[in-house]
Amino acid sequence: MKKLFFKISCKLLRLFSEDKKEVDSAIEYYNKKVSCKNRQTQLDVNVRPRTETYEWLTCKSQRELYLKGKSIRGTSFTHSMRHTDHLEAIDYHNS
């Protein structure tokens, strides 16, 4: 009902407007904005949760306190891989 009322009001506005191009561009902008908003809501539903990172643990005392008993990804490699889940994704796709 809202959409129908909006379309009718836009047509009336365009009919009585002096600058039809201005009205058309405003309506086109609004339609693009609505379609982007709808697309964003669709994308927000399917967001994959991020893997937990430990970047907020900036000093050694914090890491000792909060990481006790937690496994740290990348400890078996020569460099830390706390920031990525690339290897987990590869294992997932190869399984």
Which tokens hold the place of 58? 């900036």
Residue 73 CB: number of other CB atoms within 10 A? Answer: 19
Those residues with Cβ within 8 angstroms of residue 74's Cβ, 6 or more apart along the chain or in another chain: 80, 81, 82
Provide the residue type at 48 as one letter: R
**Tens of each residue's pLDDT in the chain, 95 residues:** 888 888 898 888 888 888 889 988 988 999 999 999 999 998 888 877 766 666 666 777 877 777 777 765 555 555 555 556 777 777 777 76
Q: Is the dihedral of CA 91, 42, 44, 35 positive or negative?
A: positive
pTM for the full predicted model: 0.45
Greatest Cα-to-Cα distance within the chain, rounded to the nearest angstrom: 72
